[in-house]
Each structure stands twice: as C-alpha cells, then as structure tokens.
C-alpha cells in the first residue's frame, strides 16, 4: 500500500477482454480445465523513489558490538514460505548494511513461531528477554500478532510487521506495533472493486477460513461486494476435503469465488473446485499469493487472481538482482516489505538510536521513502498512504497487473 510519493504511475496497457485461459503447466495435481478469464496485461515496470533509504547508508556508521535485530515468525509450518520470504528480505538488508559499514556490525536472530498463535508466545517471550535485540521484523500473521502484541509492548520492543493485515491489531493501544503495508479495511474494498470491476464478475461467492486474518478480510470484502455477493461459507485451518462447500458453489453458479485465507487450504480448495467443473475465476488475497499455491494447486491455478497490499519486488531491478544473487530465487510475497522494515531499523541504529526506547522513538517519527513505498505512520501504527496491487497466474507464474486501490 503505497501511494504517496512512491509509486505514482503504473500503466496497465490495453482494455480488458474475455478469453479462454490456457492452463499453467505446473505441478501434477489437479485437472487441466480452462477457465473463462479476463485478459489484464501484466506490468513490467514500476516507479520507485529516487531518494529511497537503503541499508548500506553512507558506509560511515559506528555502533557498539552486539546490537541485534530479530525476526519472529514462521520458519516452518503450513504457510512457512510467507515467513521465509520476509526473513530473506531482512537477511539481505543486514548483509548489505554490514558489508558497507565495518564499524557497525548488526547481528540477526530468528525465532520460529510456525505461524501458530498458540505456539507464538514462547518464541516471542524468548526474543524480548534477549537484551541485545533492539528491534524486530515480524510477526507475519495476524493471529500470532494478536496473541503476542502485549508481550512486546511490555518490553518496549519495536516491531514492524511486513504482512499482518487484520485491522483490529492497531486498536489495542500498543505503542510498539507498526504495520508495513495497508490493512484489510483497505484491501477488502479494493478486492471487491477489482472482482466486480476489472474481472467483471456479477455474482461472487465468498469463502473464509477460521484465522483472524481470514475472518477480518472476509468481513471487509463482503461488505464492499454488496449485492454481487450471492453466498458465503466457511472452512477450517488444516481442512483437506472441500466437497460440501464446492457443491454449494457449483449450484450457485458464481462468476468468481473469493477465498479469504492462506495458501495451505486455498490451493487444494481451488484444485478441487476445478476438478468438480468450476470454470469461473478464483480470487484470493496476499495470504494465498505465493508460488506454493501454484505448486499445490497445479494446473487448476490457471484461473487465479490475487490482491495484495504488497509491492512486486521483482520489478525493482536493484532489489531483484541482489535478492536473486543472494538466494538464487526471485523475491516472494513480502520480501521487499521485510527488506524495507529492516532498513528502517538499521537506519535508526546508524543514527545512534541503539536502545529499545530510542529505536522505538525513531520509528514513531519516521518519514522517508523505502524501495517499496513511503513510510510514515499515524499514532496507531498504520501507514498513512497504503496501496493495493492486483496479480494473476500466467504461464505458471504469479505476475503483477497494477494497482487496484
């Protein structure tokens, strides 16, 4: 979510028209069934700010030994790839900083929550009690953020989430929580407008999972869909068989299904939808927008679009090149947000803000461009100018199609 000075102009060429989409030749699961799909061209460039703050800084930073940044979030678990994308972005920022600043070597510690709210309190408690950690990137998911925010607040440990989007997270009175992208009160209406506008869906069926993220996003999207919403249903985390829900969807004959949840369930759900004969579009949010979705859904993923308050980091040449060199991978969902979040904390350390209290104050008053967007927060920890992007599956890859809100 990034309007402000950052991404000011995005061209989406050509008018949308109907075509029959070829199936992605990816994976072995699923039945190869073509879906009627709107042809929205992919974009290949975005405008990035000329004065973006970068991890290397001026190379003259001096700081005491032992200062550390933490990543708290999923390294393992059903949706771990979303967390891995983030800490790879953090690692890249730290590597660039430390290479350029021999007089200020900042450490990095990771704490695995498995993305599970019931397991997150242990790793968070461990992290906040390690005195060398002065700032944190995380937690990635809304449920675990909700479960642990008070622990971080009590220890005065600033944390920037690159991905947790439930709107309620900034209503808890926390002073240490900052969101590095727009929330679902922004994404939901943008998604509804995208589905009924650019994707031309007249009838939409919405399915949500039981996570805090899925519930919150479903609420804002449902409200914005209005009369286009013809049905809703719920699934649970870990569910494998979606036949009951799919039967209702097939009977309702929607033009589009919007799934509010994560890729671990979203992928088999879409795969089973296509196998049962569904030929409409499948639309899902940032929690599903990952290459793991394509791997798990196989050929069925050809019908998919995504919404995300995240930037296509692969279209920022300097970042894409450095990321690919470091990890032999293209940047993933939230990689650039993780990179920018780490950069903000590192720039504070370089400016002499080396205590938890000073680094927290630094983030509260931050007002600068990152590679992905302009970072300035209101008093609750929300960004002041968020933007939402649209994406689609094309030839077995997720590609950006421009801003949608």
Using CA atoms, how far apart are residues 3 and 192, in angstroms rounded to an integer?
A: 19
pLDDT at residue 20 in the model: 29
Contacts 24+ apart (CB under 8 A), 214-217: 214/260, 214/261, 214/262, 214/287, 215/260, 216/142, 216/165, 216/166, 216/167, 216/168, 216/184, 217/165, 217/166, 217/184, 217/187, 217/188, 217/191, 217/260, 217/285
Beta strands in 157-219 (DSSP E): 159-161, 177-179, 204-208
Kindly state the percentage of the chain with pLDDT values over 90: 88
**Is residue 68 scored above 50 in pLDDT?**
yes
- Min mean pLDDT across 8-12, 243-247, 258-262, 360-364 is at 8-12
What gap in Å lies between CA 167 and CA 148, rounded to an integer? 16
At residue 386, the pLDDT reads 87
Q: DSSP strand E in 198-288: where?
A: 204-208, 229-234, 256-260, 281-284
Q: Write down the domain spans for the chain.
A: 18-45+184-311+389-403, 68-183+313-376
Give the whole-angstrom CA distance, residue 229 versus residue 217.
15
CA–CA distance, 117 with 72 (Å, rounded to integer): 12
pLDDT band at 1 (very low <50, low <70, confident <90, very high): very low
Give per-residue pLDDT as tens, 71-111.
Answer: 999 999 999 999 999 999 999 999 999 999 999 999 999 99
CATH code of 68-183+313-376, in short, is 3.40.50.2300
Largest CA distance in the chain: 66
Q: How far apart are CA 224 and CA 185, in angstroms?
A: 10
Please tell me if the domain spanning 18-45+184-311+389-403 has the same topology as the one spanning 68-183+313-376.
yes
- 307-320 pLDDT per residue, tens: 999 999 999 999 99
Residues whose CB is less than 8 angstroms from the CB of residue 354 and which lie 6 or more positions away in sequence, other chains included: 63, 64, 67, 134
Superfamily classification of domain 18-45+184-311+389-403 = Response regulator (3.40.50.2300)
Q: How many CB atoms lie within 10 A of CB 81?
A: 19
Closest Cα partner for 364 from 172, 135, 61? 135
What is the residue whose two structure tokens read 């590095």?
Answer: 180
Decide: helix, strand or coil at residue 204: strand
**What is d(CA 192, CA 223) in angstroms, rounded to the nearest whole number?**
9
Of 153, 155, 147, the closest CA to residue 164 belongs to 147
**Whole-model pTM?**
0.89
Q: Across all residues in the chain, what is the average pLDDT?
A: 91
Lowest mean pLDDT among 15-19, 71-75, 130-134: 15-19
């Amino acid at each position: 979510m990034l309007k402000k000075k950052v991404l000011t102009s995005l061209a989406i060429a050509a008018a949308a028209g109907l075509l029959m989409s070829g199936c992605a030749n990816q994976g072995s699961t699923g039945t190869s069934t073509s879906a009627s799909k709107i042809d929205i061209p992919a974009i290949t460039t975005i405008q990035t700010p000329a004065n973006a703050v970068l991890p290397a800084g001026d190379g003259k930073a001096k700081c005491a030994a032992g200062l550390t940044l933490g990543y708290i979030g999923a390294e393992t678990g059903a949706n771990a790839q979303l967390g891995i994308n983030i800490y790879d972005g953090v690692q890249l920022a730290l590597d660039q900083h430390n290479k350029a600043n021999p007089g200020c070597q900042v450490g990095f510690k990771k704490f695995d929550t498995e993305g599970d709210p019931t397991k997150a309190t242990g790793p968070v408690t461990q992290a906040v009690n390690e005195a060398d950690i002065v700032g944190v990137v995380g937690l990635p998911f809304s449920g675990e953020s909700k479960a642990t925010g008070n622990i971080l607040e009590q220890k005065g440990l600033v944390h920037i989430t690159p991905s947790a989007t439930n709107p309620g997270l900034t209503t808890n009175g926390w002073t240490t929580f900052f969101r590095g992208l727009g929330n679902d009160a922004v994404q939901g209406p943008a998604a509804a407008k995208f589905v009924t506008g650019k994707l031309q869906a007249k009838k939409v069926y919405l399915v949500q999972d039981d996570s805090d993220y899925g519930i919150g996003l479903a609420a804002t999207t449902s409200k914005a869909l209005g009369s286009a919403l013809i049905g809703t249903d719920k699934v649970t985390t870990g569910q494998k068989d979606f036949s009951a829900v799919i039967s209702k969807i097939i009977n309702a004959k929607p033009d589009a299904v919007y799934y509010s949840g994560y890729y671990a369930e979203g992928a088999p759900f879409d795969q089973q939808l296509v196998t049962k004969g569904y030929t409409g579009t499948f639309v899902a949010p940032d929690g599903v927008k990952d290459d793991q979705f394509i791997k798990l859904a196989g050929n069925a993923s050809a019908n998919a679009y995504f919404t995300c308050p995240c930037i296509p980091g692969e279209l920022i040449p300097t970042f894409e090149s450095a990321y690919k060199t470091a990890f032999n991978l293209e940047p993933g969902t939230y990689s650039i947000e993780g990179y920018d979040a780490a950069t903000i904390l590192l720039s504070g350390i370089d400016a002499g803000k080396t205590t938890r209290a000073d680094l927290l104050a630094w983030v509260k008053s931050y007002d600068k461009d990152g590679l992905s967007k302009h970072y300035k927060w209101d008093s609750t920890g929300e960004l002041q100018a968020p933007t939402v992007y649209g994406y689609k599956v094309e030839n077995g890859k997720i590609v950006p199609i421009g801003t949608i809100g």
